[in-house]
A and B are shown apart, each in its own frame.
Chain A
């Protein structure tokens, strides 16, 4: 259990299984529910374009403890694809947590203190990326080398 005591809603595991087995989505965004009790699915997406995904993270909003909306944080599972020189396609679902430095301390604390719960609920994740600035969301410059380390 993560230190915040926040739980993972069953729908998160279901969505993750669908992404893995049925390739139903390219990515899933998770957030902490407004009542602060559990991590829930915020949105799923099928777009292959990394920038669509990136943009969703950057524009996300979260509420502070008084319910005021501000700079947001999210967790995401992204189905990373890589095609090698010989045309072999590799697919790996990886976890990405987006907790930007300019989010409020309440949002940072609750998201950082709850990440473990999600990670433990989703078996078989191939990567765990901690992004806190937009440069960490550059696919070629930052993300890909972390997911496909040995390529």
Chain B
């Protein structure tokens, strides 16, 4: 790609057509990055990373953390509250998501690449060296953030981009607002069902209503844990792929007849857990179902009706297989009804306030009464956990039950890519618009005003 030198180019040049902006949408399960103007993020990497327990080296990317190793601990830089916790690693992981697939790493500075080792090689100016070594000096960067990101975290984002990466221009967008826009709505109630967090974001006239933003842990990981609890109750052996070297077909419910891989030292529990999570996602995709309502699964004869639906088979990587009937509904019911959540020593009972219907109610209570019918008419559903079959129907039924009079209307892109990557796509389009160049915070402005400029410019 022909790019002008960003350090000398005026703002209009590097934000124009010549250099594409980069768009980075970090989530708990995956980190999405790509060039603005493209239809989908080119770089989607796991947010989990590996740390070597012998020398603390970090490993990023699918391939690096995929194979079982005795000393590779798997971690995630986000906190359970949906805010970055380990900033150092998050910054490195994000940089990797961009440089590994998009921009390529910067060539090592001539002074440092070992070819010019000369005791008198002090001729290079230090300043110049710093400039050259920053990895992302060519493209403006648009990032997304959760609606509850504290001011300190927002400032940290721009600091990392400007100081560590040397980006020439930066902008930070609320992921809820970007998802609303990508659905064609300046006003919407955005329900994002992710991995770590489900959030509800009221957006009015293109502005996020901060007071109204709600979040809860009843998201994809919660459903995974409900499935684990159900497996435990039913003695279902959850066996990840890496443990199996070969399998033979067995009857439903019969013990598996597989050869298992032998490890001198088994990989750490954190590795196994991440690999189990993959099997659980397969289980979600092929077996799990939300009770579609009306009413809760426990109401009246609803369980009987659910039971009468054809059960779904599932086969573990080691060949063990079984069909799942009512249980395939039960593992999602807690998203809507806290009393239905499966409980054991690893699964604490959720509160009513954490359920998705209660969060929507709480969000609406924080917006102007006049706006409520309008938002209920423009509910935008996003996040990969919203692909749970029956999710939208159930959400619709719950909303009809709570708000009988205004018309409820859910909009969820049928297009998988658009639903999964709504915020990234929103950012991709925004960052590619010629008109957007005046929105960027330039390096110069950052230097003049400091990190707090995000508070003023990225509302």
Chain A residues in contact with chain B, CB under 8 A?
Answer: 1-7, 35-38, 65, 73, 97, 99-101, 103, 105-113, 115-116, 119, 128, 130, 132
Within the complex, what minimum Cβ distance (angstroms) separates B186 from chain A? 4
Query: B177 — which chain A residues lie within 8 A by C-beta?
Result: 3
Is B429 positioned at the interface, with any CB of A under 8 Å from its CB? Answer: yes
Q: Considering residues B180, B411, B429, B435, which has the most beta carbons from chain A within 10 angstroms of its beta carbon?
A: B435
Flag if A108 contacts B438 (CB, 8 Å): no
> Using a Cβ cutoff of 8 Å, how many contacts connect chains A and B?
92
**Closest residue of A by beta carbon distance from B418:** A105
Flag if B411 contacts A3 (CB, 8 Å): no
Partner of A36, one of B374, B435, B438: B435
Q: Mark B158-201, 1 if CB is under 8 A from A, else 0.
A: 00000000000000010001001111111100000000000000
Flag if B429 contacts A105 (CB, 8 Å): yes
Q: How far is the CA of A90 from the CA of B37 in the complex (A)?
A: 46
Q: How far is the CA of A1 from the CA of B180 in the complex (A)?
A: 17
Other than the given A99-B184, A111-B184, 16 more pairs (CB < 8 A) read: A3-B181, A3-B430, A3-B439, A6-B433, A36-B433, A65-B37, A101-B411, A105-B182, A105-B413, A110-B433, A112-B206, A113-B181, A113-B430, A116-B205, A130-B186, A132-B411
Flag if A101 contacts B184 (CB, 8 Å): yes
Partner of B184, one of A1, A36, A73: A73
Q: Considering residues B425, B433, B437, which has the most beta carbons from chain A within 10 angstroms of its beta carbon?
A: B433
Flag if A3 contacts B187 (CB, 8 Å): no
Partner of A5, one of B181, B185, B187, B437: B437
Is B97 positioned at the interface, with any CB of A under 8 Å from its CB? Answer: no
Query: A130 — which chain B residues lie within 8 A by C-beta?
Result: 185-187, 374, 378
Q: How far is the CA of A36 from the CA of B197 in the complex (A)?
A: 36
Within the complex, what minimum Cβ distance (angstroms) separates A34 from chain B? 12
| Chain B interface size range | 20 to 34
Query: A38 — which chain B residues lie within 8 A by C-beta?
Result: 435
Flag if B439 contacts A5 (CB, 8 Å): yes
Flag if B181 contacts A7 (CB, 8 Å): no
Q: How far is the CA of A116 from the CA of B208 in the complex (A)?
A: 13
Q: How far is the CA of A3 from the CA of B438 in the complex (A)?
A: 10
Q: How far is the CA of A109 from the CA of B413 in the complex (A)?
A: 13
**Closest residue of A by beta carbon distance from B415:** A105
Q: How far is the CA of A37 from the CA of B344 in the complex (A)?
A: 58
The 4 closest A-B pairs by CB, nearest first: A108-B184, A99-B184, A5-B435, A109-B429
Query: B260 — which chain A residues lie within 8 A by C-beta?
Result: none
Residues A97 and B438 in contact in the complex (CB < 8 Å), given A112-B206, A113-B430: no
Q: How far is the CA of A3 from the CA of B161 in the complex (A)?
A: 21
Q: How far is the CA of A106 from the CA of B428 in the complex (A)?
A: 10
Within the complex, what minimum Cβ distance (angstroms) separates B303 from chain A? 35
Is B436 positioned at the interface, with any CB of A under 8 Å from its CB? Answer: yes
Q: How far is the CA of A115 from the CA of B182 in the complex (A)?
A: 13
Is B434 positioned at the interface, with any CB of A under 8 Å from its CB? Answer: yes
Is B426 positioned at the interface, with any CB of A under 8 Å from its CB? Answer: yes
Q: How far is the CA of A99 from the CA of B187 in the complex (A)?
A: 12
Residues A4 and B436 in contact in the complex (CB < 8 Å), given A119-B205, A130-B378: yes
Is B216 positioned at the interface, with any CB of A under 8 Å from its CB? Answer: no
Q: Mark B299-343, 1 if CB is under 8 A from A, else 0.
A: 000000000000000000000000000000000000000000000
Query: B413 — which chain A residues lie within 8 A by C-beta?
Result: 105
Flag if B206 contacts A109 (CB, 8 Å): no
Q: How far is the CA of A97 from the CA of B181 in the complex (A)?
A: 13
Within the complex, what minimum Cβ distance (angstroms) separates A91 from chain B? 22
Within the complex, what minimum Cβ distance (angstroms) separates A49 from chain B? 26
Flag if A109 contacts B435 (CB, 8 Å): no
Q: Considering residues A5, A97, A119, which has the most beta carbons from chain B within 10 angstroms of its beta carbon?
A: A5
Partner of A115, one of B37, B206, B426, B437: B206
Q: Considering residues A35, A101, A103, which has the most beta carbons from chain B within 10 angstroms of its beta carbon?
A: A101
Flag if B185 contacts A132 (CB, 8 Å): yes
Flag if A115 contacts B186 (CB, 8 Å): yes
Is B73 positioned at the interface, with any CB of A under 8 Å from its CB? Answer: no
Q: How far is the CA of A90 from the CA of B411 in the complex (A)?
A: 34
Partner of B180, one of A37, A110, A112, A128: A112
- Could you give 17 example pairs across A and B, Cβ below 8 Å? A1-B438, A3-B173, A3-B177, A7-B435, A36-B435, A37-B435, A38-B435, A65-B37, A97-B186, A101-B411, A108-B182, A108-B185, A109-B182, A113-B181, A113-B186, A116-B186, A132-B411
Residues 95 to 121 of chain B near chain A (Cβ within 8 Å):
none
Flag if B425 contacts A99 (CB, 8 Å): no
Query: A111 — which chain B residues lie within 8 A by C-beta?
Result: 184
Query: A7 — which chain B residues lie within 8 A by C-beta?
Result: 435
Q: How far is the CA of A65 from the CA of B425 in the complex (A)?
A: 13
Q: How far is the CA of A38 from the CA of B438 in the complex (A)?
A: 13
